[in-house]
Amino acid sequence: MQLLEQPRPVPFQRNHKIRDAISFAIYQMMERDPSIHLFGEGCGVKVHYDAPNIERDFSDRVHTLPISEDGNVNFAVGASLLGVKPVVDIITADFLYRAMDSICNTAAKLNFVRPDQPPSTIVIRAEFLTGGPTTGQRPEALFCHIPGLDVVIPSTPRDAHGLMRNALETPGVTLFFEDREIRDDLLKETDCRIGGRLAVGYALERRNGNDKPDCTVVTYGLMRQVTEEVLGSTLNIDLIDLRSIYPIDWMAIRGSVRRSGKLLVIEPDVQYGGVGAEIAATIAEGQPGVRIKRLGGRRATIPATADQHRRMIPSVEEIVHAVNNW
């Protein structure tokens, strides 16, 4: 598939490389599997300008649905019972609140309540935006609590492509988040090389320095890029990008912490009751004596401007201070 070059509406700040990698993975899988269908809301919005090749080559499998997130996910669940593998585009992550019942009470339980039937595959896709109390929230930690859901947040095009391939090849229900704030210009060449399927639950670990790191940094999504930009390649740390926040790659985290004795968890979501709290508690219980710090977002209503919103997540100064002061 050759990506089409065409003007794209840019209603919000967004990356392009991760978006294109996701669309490419969906296109590849639709070529191979006629049961994959793409569902999205409204004519001219995200499902259309994100995937022009898909709409051109698989027009009979691209469906514009009404503005009804809960109804659309339930529609996808019903389609999956007939053998369809739906990719439901909810657009912004804030709209997932409107679909909580259909995701958590219906889709997540689907493969548990009908064990005598072929398992369903459903992908629910949404993006993290900025700028506003109802268009800038990050609900990812809520879904980690629900049995039957995998929660995926890639930080590079390579990971986005591989994880989407896996989500469509593996039975189950996947919440697939795209972090719109990840900057294209800071992505490395190796981050953008498209590979094959990437199994969920395996973190990416990057070691700097020797086998005795000064600290283990665990993060995901946007904060992986921010952390890499801040820490560079000179500090003696292990940087672990979770890639999926459920399931979590505990083996990678525990192995690194055994070498470093220090754990710093950085998350862009609200810190209270979040993914970082789970990681910190689990490591503290299983590996006593480890020194642990957490950095995360504030438990506050999202402000109206993108600049103010960015001030709610861990800053460069906070990350540097946390790494240098134990």
Q: What is the pLDDT of residue 9?
A: 40
Q: Is the pLDDT of residue 267 over 90?
A: yes
Q: Are 138 and 178 spatial neighbours (Cβ–Cβ below 8 Å)?
A: no
Phi and psi at 72, nearest 5°, equal -70, -40
Q: Is the pLDDT of residue 190 over 50?
A: yes
DSSP at 15: -
Structure tokens at 229: 């930009």
Domain spans of the chain?
Answer: 17-192, 204-324
Supply the Cα-derived Rg of the chain in whole angstroms: 19
Task: Provide DSSP, 209-255.
Answer: SSSS-SEEEEE-THHHHHHHHHHTTTS-EEEEE-SEEES--HHHHHH
Start-to-end C-alpha separation, the chain: 50
Return the percentage of the chain with pLDDT > 70, whole number.
91
The whole-chain average pLDDT of the chain stands at 88
pLDDT in tens, 296-306: 998 988 888 77
Q: Are 277 and 271 spatial neighbours (Cβ–Cβ below 8 Å)?
A: yes
Q: Is the pLDDT of residue 271 over 50?
A: yes
Distance between CA 65 and CA 54 in Å, rounded? 16
Distance between CA 16 and CA 87 in Å, rounded? 19
Distance between CA 88 and CA 76 in Å, rounded? 7
Q: What is the pLDDT of residue 14?
A: 64
CA-wise closest residue to 72 among 91, 57, 49, 51: 91
Q: Are 95 and 61 spatial neighbours (Cβ–Cβ below 8 Å)?
A: no
Segment of 113-117, 150-154, 190-194, 195-199 carrying the highest mean pLDDT:
150-154
Q: What is the pLDDT of residue 213?
A: 86
CA-wise closest residue to 121 among 9, 205, 14, 200: 200
Dihedral sign, Cα of residue 159, residue 50, residue 182, residue 272? negative
Q: Are 184 and 219 spatial neighbours (Cβ–Cβ below 8 Å)?
A: no
Topology alike, domains 17-192 and 204-324: yes
Q: How confident is the model at residue 11 (pLDDT cuts 50, 70, 90)?
A: very low
Helix (H) or strand (E) holding 270: strand 262-270
Domain 17-192 has CATH 3.40.50.970: yes
pLDDT in tens, 159-185: 999 999 999 999 999 999 999 889 898
Helix (H) or strand (E) holding 72: helix 69-80
Window from 23-37, 206-220, 263-277 with minimum mean pLDDT: 206-220
144 or 136: which leads in pLDDT: 144
Window from 26-35, 118-127, 180-189 with minimum mean pLDDT: 180-189
Structure tokens at 3: 């990506």
Q: What is the pLDDT of residue 234?
A: 63
Distance between CA 296 and CA 274 in Å, rounded? 9
Q: What is the pLDDT of residue 132?
A: 77
Cα 234 from chain centre = 28
CB contact burial 128-149 (16+ within 10 A = b; e otherwise): bbbbbeebbbbbbbbbbebeeb
Q: How confident is the model at residue 47 (pLDDT cuts 50, 70, 90)?
A: low
Q: Is the pLDDT of residue 98 over 80?
A: yes
**3-class state of residue 137 by DSSP:** coil
Q: Which residue has the tokens 């919005």?
A: 45
Assigned architecture for domain 204-324: 3-Layer(aba) Sandwich (3.40)
Distance between CA 286 and CA 275 in Å, rounded? 17
Cα dist from 183 to 13, 187, 267, 306, whole Å: 10, 7, 17, 14
Q: Are 123 and 167 spatial neighbours (Cβ–Cβ below 8 Å)?
A: yes
Q: Is the preceding omega at residue 247 within 30 degrees of 0, hence cis?
A: yes
For residues 239-253, give the mean pLDDT. Answer: 97
